[in-house]
């Protein structure tokens, strides 16, 4: 599974972010300049706590 697919799986199954919300952000023009977790937070789709959870998960994937 690619890292982007793994992240999307995590977002959907651990944080209950809908496929529709993710699809909108993946097509958003800012996607080229900002990471998906930051866009989710910027648009109010996740809380600061969830953003921290995502970054913790991403860090664990690098180890």
Tell me the per-residue pLDDT of 5-51, one tens digit each, with 9 for 90 and over.
899 999 999 999 999 999 888 887 877 778 889 989 998 999 999 99
Q: What pLDDT score does 47 carry?
A: 96
Specify the 3-state DSSP secondary structure of 27: coil
Q: How many domains does the chain have?
A: 1
Query: How far out from the chain centre does Cα 8 lie?
Result: 6
Give the per-residue pLDDT at 58: 94
3-state secondary structure of 12: helix
Which residues constitute the domain of residue 9? 3-62
């Amino acid at each position: 599974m690619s890292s982007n697919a793994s992240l999307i799986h995590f977002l959907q199954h651990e944080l209950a972010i809908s496929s529709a919300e993710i699809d909108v952000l993946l097509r958003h023009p800012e996607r080229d300049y900002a990471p998906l977790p930051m866009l989710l937070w910027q648009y109010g789709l996740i809380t600061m706590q969830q953003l921290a959870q995502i970054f913790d998960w991403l860090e664990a994937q690098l180890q």
